[in-house]
Chain A
Amino acid sequence: MAFSVRRSPGLRTGLLLLPPMLWLGVAYLLALGALFVTSLWSQNDFTGAIERIWTLDNYRQIWEIPVYRTIAVRTIALAALVTVVDALVAFPIALYMAKFASPRGRRLLVIAVLMPLWASYLVKAYAWRGIFADGGLIDWLGKPFGIHSPGYGLLATGVTLAYLWLPYMVLPVFAGLERVPDSLVEASGDLGAGALTTLRRVVLPMAFPALVAGSIFTFSLSLGDYIAVTIVGGPTQLLGNVIYENVGAANNLPFAAALSTIPVVVMFLYLAAARRTGALDNL
């Protein structure tokens, strides 16, 4: 046995990969497939039982009832906005960490960025509930300027999501910028480019795959979130909490399954696009 395994790298690879692929294939891919199949079934309105009758009704409803289209567009737009905000905030920090800070400062900054990642997700969302609360931190800080907290809603949800996912953007962008050789940056300067030109024409294109890699997380995590919107969203409806309500309160799994194909399809398109930039190697 040992002999044949040593002689045959193909067999060895196969044996090594078998358990994880079985696990992921059975526990995950089949589950995803079954979810899709369920979305093609219907539900008995009276008993609430799932009936195995093939139908496209769930998808037709999502398409024809305007509120679902609005919610889908709102969710995707919010996820995109959160991603853009995170990219804009993360890039300067990552650039400072990678190209300006001393080695010691860089180490400390990496820790400073990583640490909030380990603090509970729920606790961070909860903290923002306190900040946006009536009489909370925003009201207190804004008082001298006559600024009021916007209260719980779409804005609070966006801010909270951008806050929650910021480290997922900073870290890959930092790693990407660290890989940009200093010599290239210097060469650009020697050729007469100013700092901003170098940034735009040398550093940014090289760091782009890393930005895309970070955006996969910020985008995907925002797309499916229903906890933050429950905590700070007030009455805001996003795909996440609509799916959640259809599994829980409404107990309509086929419809929830149909709704959840929206983020899956969007994510697959996003991953396919990201793959073209080489971002998946940056994960």
Chain B
Amino acid sequence: MIASRGLRTVLRVTTAIVLVVVYTPLAMVVINSFNVDRTFSWPPSGFTLHWWKLAAQSHGARHALLVSIEVALLATAIALVLGTLAGMGLRRTRFFGRHTISLLIILPIALPGIVTGIALNNAFRTMLGLDLGFFTVVVAHATFCIVTVFNNVQARLQRLGPSLEQASADLGAGPFRTFVQITFPMMRSALLAGALLAFGLSFDEIVVTTFTAGPQVQTLPLWIFQNLFRPNQAPIVNVVAAVLVLVSAVPIYLAQRLSGDTVSSASATP
């Protein structure tokens, strides 16, 4: 098969075409942010930096960006703790219910976001009598971020095996000392990769956020969605969108600097 010239050419051409289709919309977003027109008409009639200047002064966008970063940082921190615990708890042991537990961890992202969203909305408001706000968004985001950390930790622990920790125990270290001096350093890059994915997942999320954010909490995706259909704001939304496209190269760069794990584990997260 490897020798098949024809197949190779067909696959190469297909890959090239698909990549062009994948990157065209992203390129259009960036080009459109310089478009003189307020509409989507293509090709643009002229280019300007005016919208970029306006966007830099947009109070709403900047505030929403900060809220998004705060939510993502807190949700990532919670997911790191819970995901690590779950990953360590589920290794080696082959007890009954193991599959059920991994299914439970995957469930918040395997079920459609709108279901998770209204389930949490209903639970916060009707069951717990809480007002929706910043806190409820963080709880909701942490819930579906656990899986990214869990996957990375589990993959790393499986690959490393227990021998180093057993050696540490044989040399007289207690479980906590072994964790601090052996297990944690071994898991560090996997934790970073998991945290990166969790951050990205939370930063970009809009469906669950819509249902769990109070009226005064506005994350960046919520801000974009609210301003998407306002003709006056459209050029500024274009600029914010272009910035987000360009910034998306940063986590890829970081992930590449981490470990080979990152690529395979990224597949398990939306």
CB distance from A120 to the nearest CB of B (A): 4
Question: Are A175 and B264 in contact, CB atoms less than 8 angstroms apart?
Answer: yes
Question: Are B11 and A120 in contact, CB atoms less than 8 angstroms apart?
Answer: no
A-B contact count (CB 8 A): 299
Interface set, chain A 1-21, CB cutoff 8 A to B:
2, 5-6, 9-10, 12-17, 19-21
Question: Are B268 and A283 in contact, CB atoms less than 8 angstroms apart?
Answer: yes
Specify which chain A residues have a CB less than 8 angstroms from the CB of B118 in the assembled complex: 35, 243, 247, 253, 256-257, 260
Contact of B119 among A10, A14, A35, A217 (CB under 8 A): A35
Question: Are A253 and B122 in contact, CB atoms less than 8 angstroms apart?
Answer: yes
Instruction: Say yes or no: A195-B248 contact (C-beta < 8 A), given A23-B82, A124-B26.
Output: no
Chain A interface residue count, Cβ-Cβ cutoff 8 angstroms: 107
Chain B, 255-269, contact with A by CB distance < 8 Å: what is the 0/1 string? 110000001101110
Specify which chain A residues have a CB less than 8 angstroms from the CB of B61 in the assembled complex: none
Query: How far is A131 from B32 in the complex, measured between Cα atoms in Å?
Result: 11
Question: Are B241 and A195 in contact, CB atoms less than 8 angstroms apart?
Answer: no
Select the stretch in B1-9, B48-56, B186-194 that faces chain A.
B1-9
Instruction: Say yes or no: A35-B175 contact (C-beta < 8 A), given A185-B1, A220-B110, A263-B111.
Output: no
Contact of B1 among A99, A133, A175 (CB under 8 A): A99
Question: Are B256 and A111 in contact, CB atoms less than 8 angstroms apart?
Answer: yes
Instruction: Say yes or no: A199-B41 contact (C-beta < 8 A), given A168-B270, A260-B115.
Output: no
Question: Are B104 and A118 in contact, CB atoms less than 8 angstroms apart?
Answer: no
Specify which chain A residues have a CB less than 8 angstroms from the CB of B32 in the assembled complex: 130
In the complex, A271 has a CB within 8 A of chain B: yes
In the complex, B235 has a CB within 8 A of chain A: no
Instruction: Say yes or no: A92-B15 contact (C-beta < 8 A), given A23-B146, A118-B200.
Output: yes
Query: How far is A106 from B19 in the complex, measured between Cα atoms in Å?
Result: 14
Closest to A221 in B: B270
Chain B, 124-136, contact with A by CB distance < 8 Å: what is the 0/1 string? 0011000000000
Question: Are A34 and B127 in contact, CB atoms less than 8 angstroms apart?
Answer: yes
Query: How far is A123 from B255 in the complex, measured between Cα atoms in Å?
Result: 22
Chain B interface residue count, Cβ-Cβ cutoff 8 angstroms: 98
Contact of B11 among A100, A185, A189 (CB under 8 A): A100
Question: Are B3 and A216 in contact, CB atoms less than 8 angstroms apart?
Answer: no
Specify which chain A residues have a CB less than 8 angstroms from the CB of B228 in the assembled complex: 122, 126, 231
Instruction: Say yes or no: A118-B206 contact (C-beta < 8 A), given A2-B175, A17-B90, A195-B1.
Output: no
In the complex, B43 has a CB within 8 A of chain A: yes
Query: How far is A224 from B79 in the complex, measured between Cα atoms in Å?
Result: 24
Chain A, 80-122, contact with B by CB distance < 8 Å: what is the 0/1 string? 0000000001001101110110000000011111111111111
Q: Is the interface of A mostly helix, strand, loop or mixed?
A: helix
Instruction: Say yes or no: A31-B122 contact (C-beta < 8 A), given A96-B11, A224-B207.
Output: yes
Chain A, 252-272, contact with B by CB distance < 8 Å: what is the 0/1 string? 010011001001100100010
Question: Are B2 and A6 in contact, CB atoms less than 8 angstroms apart?
Answer: no
Specify which chain B residues have a CB less than 8 angstroms from the CB of A100 in the assembled complex: 2, 8, 11-12
In the complex, A30 has a CB within 8 A of chain B: yes
Specify which chain B residues have a CB less than 8 angstroms from the CB of A257 in the assembled complex: 118, 122
Residue ranges of B at the interface with A (Cβ–Cβ < 8 Å): 1-4, 6-8, 10-12, 14-15, 18-19, 21-26, 28-29, 32, 39-43, 81-83, 85-86, 88-90, 92-93, 95, 99, 101-108, 110-116, 118-123, 126-127, 139, 142-143, 146, 150-151, 169, 174-176, 200, 204, 206-207, 211, 221, 224-225, 228, 237, 241, 244-245, 248-249, 251-252, 255-256, 263-264, 266-268, 270
Would you give 13 A-B contacts (Cβ < 8 Å), ordered by A?
Answer: A17-B89, A112-B22, A118-B249, A118-B252, A119-B26, A123-B245, A128-B25, A130-B42, A135-B39, A171-B263, A196-B7, A244-B114, A247-B121
Known: A20-B89, A34-B123, A260-B112. 19 other contacts (CB 8 A): A6-B175, A20-B83, A23-B142, A34-B122, A35-B122, A99-B1, A112-B22, A121-B206, A122-B206, A124-B25, A126-B237, A163-B22, A175-B267, A189-B1, A225-B114, A243-B118, A244-B114, A260-B114, A280-B103
The 9 closest A-B pairs by CB, nearest first: A224-B112, A16-B89, A171-B267, A127-B25, A195-B4, A31-B123, A118-B248, A17-B89, A133-B40
